[in-house]
Structure 1
Amino acid sequence: MIDIEVKWTRRASAMARGGVTLVLAQGLFLVSAEAQFIPFQDDPIRYYVDRAEDPVAKVQARIERGEKRLEFEGVNGYLKSVLRELDVPLSSQALVYSKSSLQFRKVSPKTPRALYFNDDVYVGWINGGEFLEIVSFDANQGAIFYTLDQTPTASRGFTKAELDCIQCHVGARTQGVPGVLLRSIVTNSKGNQTAETRPYLTDHRSPFAERWGGWYVTGTHGRQTHLGNLVVDSADGGKVDATDGNVVDLASRFPIASYPTQHSDIVAHLVLDHQVQLHNLITVANYQTRLALHAEKAAGRGVDAISAESRKKIEVPSEELVRYLLFAGEAPLTEPVVGDSGFTREFSARGPRDGKGRSLRDFDLTRRIFKYPCSYLIYTAAFDALPRPAKDYVYRRLFEVLTNADQGSAFAHLSPDDRRAILEILVATKPGVPKDWRAAADKPTSDPVKSVDSTGPRP
């Protein structure tokens, strides 16, 4: 199963069904195999106290003021109305048949759960389910969890789920912050993990062959193989063949007519793989910086004179964020990938473009996911809300890489042309980039630069 962890439960045992397991150590944080406690419930994070202003909270405020009413529509219930209000495209539909929801009894290869997403929100729908499952990202607080009852009388709108969700959604795999993750697990005909098989934690660095176990995947990818579309009832269930993945019609797999679309687009899966982990990394950098600054303030030091220890707490997660933003370690594509739902076109159309018509949302899909490997999540409110020391560090490091001053191996996948294009796109489309970026973007490419060999996180 590969799955985005979107569930609400009061007991750890409920998570173990279907092979879905999270470390339930609230506040556990892992960076470079070093565990630290993140007291996000206390000052200055105040996760349970401070009012969230995530996309769902904004819609809920309109409902409470009587300005908006969600529409209940047949078998899909409030799903389509919620997607419209949150600007989540139907083409992002990804179908998962592992038992990874609190409503696990209703999920199987014959009745998969549907997930939809945009840059800030994830929505889960189960055919015949009792409620929608939603994760919405707040710029300062990270993942906020909601449910919405699937009954025609649910006029009160969304219910914020707090303690129940945090028990499951904070652990080593989310880097100690309220977050989400993707997993790939070989799944049997009942939707449980096949005996004697291993799970994989998935992001854009994961080998293609390890992805999407427990998910339906539509579209084509040539001779590349993955674990999607497979139902395996024994560990020796047979060799994975590329034909298992190159699927364009799911009608023979399960009754699909009740689902909003007939697709589980492979390009949507690739994008989902990338952005889920990045959401967590942005939250980690935010939390750690705020905590470091809070400690410095208590010690009587200001933001311009922080200690070496606090600086390290800020720069280690910020460096990891820089690398992930620039797709360091991305697993290569060896053949073209083609989606089938219209997601590729819709996703690309959402991005800002520079004067040459270029966008960070432009796809490559022949050797890597994007043509210009810098994440589109750099435009989100969550990135903009990074505290100043973290954002300054991220911008400085991006500048070093994009101007070829950093020639380290972590960024060897970026050609000089890649770096130049990304710099020019950001200067033209990203408000708030440092002023010296424009001068660098206007400078002839033949101008020499000072080399910096960055082989690890900076102290």
Structure 2
Amino acid sequence: MNRCEELKRGCRTQPWTIFAVGLLLCFCLPSTVVRAQLSFEEPPINYNKAEPDNLISRFQKRLDAGEIKLAYQRKNRAGYLPAVLEALKISVSSQTLVFSKTSLQVKHIDPQSPRALYFNDDLYVGFVQGGAVLEVSASDPKLGTVFYTLSQSQTSHPTFVRKTFECTQCHASSMTQGVPGHIMRSVYPGPDGMPAFREGTYRSDHSSPFSERWGGWYVSGTHGEMRHMGNLIFRQGDSSRNLNREPGANAVDLEKWFDTSAYLTPHSDIVSLMVLEHQVKMHNLITRAQIEGRITERDATVMNRMLEREATFQSDSTKRHYESAANRLVDYMLFVEELQLEGLVQGTSRFESEFPRTGPRDRRGRSLRDFDLKQRLFQYPCSYLIYSESFEALPRPVLEVVYRRLWEVLSGKDQSSEYAHLSAEDRRAILEILLETKRDLPKYWKLADTDSPQAGG
């Protein structure tokens, strides 16, 4: 029985449920109405009104209580940036630099004054030379990406101010999986940093062709014969068809393009950029699974009440919604369609050595954060964000499907062509790493045999 048939039956058997019927009519209406009804701004998400609970909101409470002080630095107009990075445990080596005019404080951004981005597994911080604010975002376990600004004017009480409509008008679209999130974008930047939109733009993730990555970004690092769009200015007479990528290739020193001394580090590390590409979309997909899962739970609860069914009953339609949200996430976290590298990639900063040290390791010393960088990004292709608070906060029915699908692939039961990039050794290694380092795995993961598991067991 599909949702519309369930709804019609519910209307006949429970004519008093006027509110519930109004809530669910969207499933029988055109898709544009469906998208509006599934908005994250409405119940059960209430994105704009709900109280955030993430690393920034918790950090602000400690600031308010006087438990933490943020030092202010006048050198290079850094303001609160160094103190914020240190307090939030965001490595300076994660710095990437983008000079295209594609963000909030565009009047301060150009090829001579790029915007600096820093990140860890849960947080992103943007810094603009001469900018009025630090741009900050956090991965919130219930709301997805939550946006903040922190004034760069010295004050006795630094305050992270939450932003909603100002940010989601751009950062909640098809480019972010339709949820509050981030956009990793590659453009053809003119001499002033303004993109030549007539030539098109590219969204970047770990599947993107190398030749379409990092337009409008500075890139420090070597990558053999592969060529990207970084470090290049799109000038009059150029076109996307004849762009010469050679001048921006294999750059180990960015000083020839701008004054790097104005930044915390002279790098815009290629490995950091590659990790950022993966992480941005992964966070967006976790948010999408969170929101879709909670909306599906709400609708299933209403329908079960209307039809006097057990509260835990899942119709075929409900199951399909959970599986759809979970399957997209599983495919991406297992690096389906990841670009195969054609040469060794090496960064110029400490990021390549620092990033692997921050994650859990099994008894053999293996970690999902270990790099490969010869044929692919990671040695063990399963996203390290499986350890994140946002992942663990996924609605239970979605998480059950995610774990079941992961187990089927990693145990070798699922030999579908989309997972052919995972060798038997890859699957076994990832499975062993997770069994030793990931908490709250279903019991069937620990079974020695490969009998088909029961979801949620």
TM-score class, shorter-chain normalisation, is: 0.7 to 0.9
Change (3 A) 1:187 1:120: same
CA distance in 1, matches of 2:432, 2:139: 28
Percent identity over the alignment? Answer: 45
CA distance in 1, matches of 2:299, 2:88: 37
Counterpart of 1:208 in structure 2 is 210
How far did residue 215 of structure 1 move? Answer: 0.1
CA distance in 1, matches of 2:425, 2:199: 42
Counterpart of 1:369 in structure 2 is 377
- Does the 8 Å CA contact 1:223/1:242 hold for their aligned counterparts? no
Q: How do residues 284-295 of structure 1 correspond to structure 2 at under 5 angstroms?
A: 284-295=288-299
How far did residue 154 of structure 1 move? Answer: 6.1
CA distance in 2, matches of 1:124, 1:153: 20
CA distance in 1, matches of 2:82, 2:121: 18
- Does the 8 Å CA contact 1:132/1:147 hold for their aligned counterparts? yes
Question: Which entry has the higher C-alpha Rg, 1 or 2?
Answer: 2
Counterpart of 2:35 in structure 1 is 36
Q: How do residues 2-81 of structure 1 correspond to structure 2 at under 5 angstroms?
A: 36-37=35-36, 38-74=38-74, 75-81=77-83
Counterpart of 2:11 in structure 1 is none
Counterpart of 1:104 in structure 2 is 106
CA distance in 2, matches of 1:179, 1:100: 15
- Does the 8 Å CA contact 2:70/2:158 hold for their aligned counterparts? no
How far did residue 236 of structure 1 move? Answer: 2.2
How far did residue 195 of structure 1 move? Answer: 6.0
CA distance in 2, matches of 1:213, 1:433: 40
Change (3 A) 1:142 1:121: same
- Does the 8 Å CA contact 2:151/2:158 hold for their aligned counterparts? no
One-letter code aligned to 2:96 = A
Counterpart of 2:19 in structure 1 is none
Moved more, 283-292 or 372-381: 283-292
Moved more, 297-306 or 233-242: 233-242
- Does the 8 Å CA contact 2:71/2:83 hold for their aligned counterparts? yes
- Does the 8 Å CA contact 1:195/1:234 hold for their aligned counterparts? no
One-letter code aligned to 2:183 = L
- Does the 8 Å CA contact 2:97/2:117 hold for their aligned counterparts? yes
CA distance in 1, matches of 2:328, 2:98: 29
Change (3 A) 1:162 1:233: same
How far did residue 234 of structure 1 move? Answer: 2.7
Counterpart of 2:164 in structure 1 is 162
Corresponding pairs, count: 414
Structure holding more helix per residue: 2
- Alignment partner for residue 245 of structure 1, among 246, 249, 254? 249
- Alignment partner for residue 275 of structure 1, among 274, 279, 283? 279
Counterpart of 2:97 in structure 1 is 95
Deviation digits for residues 141-188 of structure 1, max 9, x if unmatched?
100000011111262321111221122211111122111111100111
How far did residue 245 of structure 1 move? Answer: 2.0
The alignment status of 1:194 with 2:196, answered yes or no, reads yes
- Does the 8 Å CA contact 2:232/2:245 hold for their aligned counterparts? no
CA distance in 1, matches of 2:237, 2:415: 44
How far did residue 69 of structure 1 move? Answer: 2.0
The alignment status of 1:351 with 2:353, answered yes or no, reads no
- Does the 8 Å CA contact 1:225/1:240 hold for their aligned counterparts? no
Counterpart of 1:387 in structure 2 is 395
Change (3 A) 1:33 1:211: farther
Change (3 A) 1:242 1:233: closer
The alignment status of 1:263 with 2:267, answered yes or no, reads yes
Deviation digits for residues 107-158 of structure 1, max 9, x if unmatched?
0001000000111111000011111001111111100000011111262321
Task: List gaps (5 residues or longer) in structure 1.
Answer: 1-31, 451-459
CA distance in 1, matches of 2:261, 2:359: 31
Deviation digits for residues 424-457 of structure 1, max 9, x if unmatched?
00000000111221224xx6xxxx878xxxxxxx
One-letter code aligned to 1:249 = D
Give the TM-score normalised by the residue count of structure 1. 0.87
CA distance in 2, matches of 1:348, 1:61: 30
Give the TM-score normalised by the residue count of structure 2. 0.87
Deviation digits for residues 223-282 of structure 1, max 9, x if unmatched?
100000001113526543445221111112111111000000000000001010110111
Three-state SS of the structure 2 residue aligned to 1:257 is helix
Three-state SS of the structure 2 residue aligned to 1:36 is helix
CA distance in 2, matches of 1:209, 1:241: 8
CA distance in 1, matches of 2:394, 2:311: 14
Task: List gaps (5 residues or longer) in structure 2.
Answer: 1-30, 453-457
Change (3 A) 1:252 1:289: same
